[in-house]
């Protein structure tokens, strides 16, 4: 964003102010009038991302052997006692891939470019003219162009004509020089970014076999891949460029009020990333053998494999540049130049990863014995939690100031 260029020209009793962006030829009466330039960029960004993923898996076998009701079995409603129940194999398997991801990304660029030029111009009285009877006019006065009289110019040179000329009344009234009020230039970039990212992923798996005894093989397995990822990414670039020139080209005393230049870059970044990943796996084999001989001769295999990861990251980059160039010549008030870069970064990253794995083999035998098949139990878990904050800040401030004072009196 580029502010309009301003050029002011002020003359005693005849003032002309020229403005950029097509505004020209404005006139003002003799007196005090200011020149100001203001440019600003203001931005506020709020981002919130929330993700949740949940997987729930369960396999359950619960059986009891009963007699045949139609045949009038006396064992109807009771647990089977002859060891012939559930001779077939039982295979239970759960596989889950659960992922939750939340991302925020923001890029902000702000630029202010200001160019301001103000001139004050004043002329001395023009009514004292030389003629053949009155002598020379004072320094700083002018003769009429082509009037054929002798006159003295500002640089003390003389022009003479063989013919005299008449004295004229004042061409420009007033004895004071040109004046202008305060000359100000203000530019600012302001940015605020608030990012929040929250992710949660949860996997629950269960295999359960209970009830009367089983003779066949039992295979229970759970396989889970659970991931939660939250990230915030922000980049802010602010540039402020100011050029200000105030000069006095007056032949008589002219003045300018206070000359000031103010520029600021302000940035605030807040980032919050939170991730949670949880994996819960359970295998339970709890057979009951009552008056059963030779039950439980099958192999039992229980396994859990879980990969659980939670990652949270914040990344921020801030670049601030401030360049001020100020020049003031002539009669003026205070000359001030203020520039500032301000940046605040608040980052928070939290990650939690949890894996729970349980294998339970709990046979119960009442008045009997089992042949004792092989039992294999295995748990494999990979659990990772990672949190990171990355911040880069670059601030640059360059200031050039030149101030002088000079008076020319007619």
pLDDT at residue 374, as a whole number: 85
Residue range 375-384, pLDDT digits in tens:
898 999 999 9
Q: Give 7's pLDDT tier (boundaries 50, 70, 90).
A: very low
Decide if pLDDT at 292 tops 50.
Answer: yes
Does residue 95 have a pLDDT over 70? yes
- Per the structure block, which two tokens stand in for 344? 């605040």
173 confidence band (pLDDT: 50, 70, 90)? very low
Which of the pair, 302 or 329, is modelled with greater confidence?
302
Checking if the pLDDT of 176 tops 70, the result is no
pLDDT for 247 equals 84
pLDDT score recorded for residue 65: 52
The per-residue pLDDT for range 312-346, each reduced to its tens digit, is 999 999 999 999 998 888 777 888 889 999 999 99
Tokens 């001020």: give the residue: 324
Q: Is residue 223's pLDDT more than 60?
A: yes
**How confident is residue 96, by pLDDT bands cut at 50, 70 and 90?**
very high
Q: Does residue 52 contact residue 200 with C-beta atoms inside 8 Å? A: yes
Q: How far apart are CA 397 and CA 42, in angstroms?
A: 20
Mean of pLDDT over the chain = 74
The yes-or-no verdict on residue 120 having pLDDT over 90 is: no
The predicted pLDDT at position 253 comes to 58
pLDDT reading at 305 higher than 50: yes
- Answer for the pair 259, 185: CB distance below 8 angstroms, yes or no: no
* Average pLDDT of span 61-77: 52
Share of the chain above pLDDT 70, in %: 65
Please give the pLDDT value at position 308: 95
Give residue 293's pLDDT. 64
pLDDT digits (tens, 9 = 90+) for 338-375: 999 999 999 999 999 999 999 998 888 777 666 567 88
Give the DSSP per-residue string, 366-393.
Answer: ESSEE----EEEEEEEEEEEEEEEEEEE
> What is the per-residue pLDDT for 357?
93
DSSP state of 148: -
Is residue 121 over pLDDT 80?
no
3-state secondary structure of 295: strand
32-55 confidence digits (pLDDT tens): 467 888 999 999 999 999 999 999
pLDDT for 33 equals: 64
SS3 103: strand
What does the pLDDT average to over 62-71? Answer: 53
Question: What is the maximal distance between C-alpha atoms in the chain?
Answer: 157
Model confidence, pTM:
0.70
Nearest to 122 by CA among 8, 258, 33, 9: 9
pLDDT of residue 169: 32
Residues linked to residue 381 through DSSP beta bridges, in sequence order: 306
What is the Cα–Cα distance from 17 to 24, expressed in whole angstroms?
A: 7
pLDDT exceeds 80 at position 140: no
Predicted pLDDT at 63: 66
pLDDT at 159 over 60: no
Res 332: pLDDT:
78
How big, in percent rounded to 5, are the helix, strand and coil portions of the chain? 0, 65, 35
Question: How many residues make up the chain in this entry?
Answer: 410
């Amino acid at each position: 964003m580029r502010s309009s260029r301003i050029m002011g020209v002020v003359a005693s009793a005849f003032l002309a102010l020229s403005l950029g962006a097509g505004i020209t030829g404005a006139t003002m009466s003799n007196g005090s009038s200011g020149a100001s330039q203001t440019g600003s960029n203001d931005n506020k960004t709020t981002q919130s991302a929330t993700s949740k993923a949940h997987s729930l898996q369960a396999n359950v076998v619960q059986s009891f052997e009963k007699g045949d009701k139609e045949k009038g079995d006396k064992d109807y409603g009771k647990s089977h006692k002859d060891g012939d129940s559930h001779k077939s194999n039982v295979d239970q398997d759960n596989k889950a891939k659960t992922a939750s991801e939340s991302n925020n990304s923001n890029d902000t660029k702000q630029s202010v470019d200001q160019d301001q030029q103000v001139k004050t111009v004043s002329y001395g009285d023009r009514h004292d003219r030389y003629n053949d009877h009155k002598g020379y006019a004072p320094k700083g006065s002018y003769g009429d162009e082509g009037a054929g009289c002798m006159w003295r110019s500002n640089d003390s040179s003389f022009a003479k004509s063989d013919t005299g000329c008449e004295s004229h009344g004042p061409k420009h009234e007033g004895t004071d020089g040109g004046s202008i009020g305060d000359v100000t230039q203000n530019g600012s970039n302001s940015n605020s970014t608030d990012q929040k990212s929250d992710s949660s992923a949860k996997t629950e798996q269960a295999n359960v076999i209970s009830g009367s005894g089983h003779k066949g093989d039992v295979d229970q397995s759970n396989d889970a891949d659970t991931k939660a990822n939250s990230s915030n990414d922000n980049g802010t670039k602010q540039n402020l460029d100011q050029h200000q020139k105030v000069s006095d080209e007056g032949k008589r005393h002219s003045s300018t009020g206070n000359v000031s230049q103010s520029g600021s870059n302000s940035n605030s970044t807040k980032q919050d990333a939170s991730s949670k990943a949880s994996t819960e796996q359970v295998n339970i084999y709890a057979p009951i053998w009552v008056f059963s001989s030779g039950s439980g001769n099958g192999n039992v295999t229980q396994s859990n494999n879980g990969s659980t990861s939670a990652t949270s990251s914040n990344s921020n980059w801030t670049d601030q540049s401030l360049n001020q160039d100020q020049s003031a010549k002539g009669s003026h008030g205070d000359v001030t130049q203020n520039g500032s870069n301000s940046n605040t970064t608040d980052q928070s990253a939290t990650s939690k990863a949890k894996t729970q794995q349980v294998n339970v083999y709990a046979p119960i035998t009442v008045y009997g014995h089992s042949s004792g098949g092989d039992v294999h139990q295995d748990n494999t878990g990979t659990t990772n939690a990672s949190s990171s904050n990355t911040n880069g800040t670059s601030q640059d401030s360059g200031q050039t100031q030149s101030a002088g004072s000079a008076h020319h009196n007619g």
